[in-house]
A and B are shown apart, each in its own frame.
Chain A
Amino acid sequence: MRALCIAILAALAAASPANAAETLTVYTYESFTAEWGPGPQVEKAFEAECGCDLKFVSVADGVALLNRVKLEGQSTKADIVLGLDTNLTADAKASGLFAPAGIDQSALAVPGGWSDDVFVPFDYGYFAVVYDTEKVSAPPKSLAELVEGDPKIKIVIEDPRTSTPGLGLVLWVKAVYGDRAADAWAKLKRRVLTVTPGWSEAYGLFTKGEAQMVLSYTTSPAYHIIAESTERYQAAAFSDGHYLQVEVAGMTVNGAKNPLSQKFLAFMTSPAFQDVIPETNWMFPAAKTGKPLNPAFDRMVKPAKTLIFSPEEVAHNRQAWVDEWLKAMSE
Chain B
Amino acid sequence: MSAAIRDPRVRAGVAAIAVIVALIGGAFIGLAVEGAADFARALSAFDAYYVRVAIFTLWQAALSTLLSVAPAILVARALSRHPAFTGRGLVLRLFALPLALPAIVAALGILALLGRAGYFAGLLSWLLGGDWPGIYGLSGILVAHVFFNLPLATRLFLEALGTVPTDQWRLASQLGMGVAPSFRLIEWPVLRSALPAVAGLVFMLCVTSFTIVLTLGGGPAATTLEVAIYQALRFDFDPARAVALTFGQIVLTVASIWLLSRLGADPVRDANLGVAPPRRFVTVQATERAINIAVIVVAALFVVGPIASIIVSGLASDLAGLASQASVQRASLTSLGFGASSALIAVLLSLALVAMRRALETMRRSRRRSLLEYAADTGAGFVLVVPPIVIGAGWFILGRHVGDVFLLAPFMVVSVNAIMAMPFVVRAIRPAHDAAAERHDRLAASLGIAGWNRFRLIDWPSIRRPLLTGFAFAMALSLGDLGVIALFGSDAVKTLPFLLLERMGSYRTSDAAGLALLIAALCLGLMAVADWSGKERA
Contact = CB atoms under 8 A, between A and B. Distances in A.
Interface of A: 30, 34, 57-58, 60, 63-64, 67-68, 70-73, 75, 77, 152, 154, 159, 161-162, 189, 192-198, 200-201, 204-205, 208-211, 323, 326-327, 329-331
B404 A195 contact: no
Nearest to B406: A72
B183 interface: no
Interface string B393-429: 0000000100111000000000000000000000000
Given A60-B505, A77-B404, 8 more contacts: A64-B234, A64-B235, A67-B234, A201-B507, A208-B509, A210-B116, A210-B117, A330-B49
A330 B53 contact: yes
Interface of B: 47-49, 52-53, 56, 115-117, 130-131, 133-134, 136-137, 218-221, 223, 231, 234-237, 400, 403-405, 490-491, 505-507, 509
A162 B117 contact: no
B506 A152 contact: no
Contact of B134 (A72, A75, A159, A210): A210
A161 B221 contact: no
Given A205-B507, A323-B47, A331 B221 contact: yes
5 contacts: A75-B403, A162-B235, A192-B219, A194-B136, A194-B219
B49 A327 contact: yes
A58 B491 contact: yes
B235 A197 contact: yes
A209 B505 CA distance: 15
A209 B509 CA distance: 13
A331 B235 contact: no
A208 B405 CA distance: 35
B221 A189 contact: yes
Contacts of A63: 235
Contact of A329 (B56, B221, B231): B221
Contacts of A34: 506
B505 A330 contact: no
A73 B239 CA distance: 14
B49 A200 contact: no
Contact of B231 (A57, A73, A161, A189): A161
A114 to B, nearest CB: 28
Nearest to A212: B131
A31 B133 CA distance: 27
Contacts of A210: 115-117, 134
A205 to B, nearest CB: 6
A177 to B, nearest CB: 19
Contacts of B56: 330
B396 to A, nearest CB: 9
Given A64-B234, A77-B404, A208-B117, A193 B507 contact: no
Contacts of B133: 154, 193
Nearest to B405: A71
Contacts of A161: 231, 235-236
A13 B234 CA distance: 34
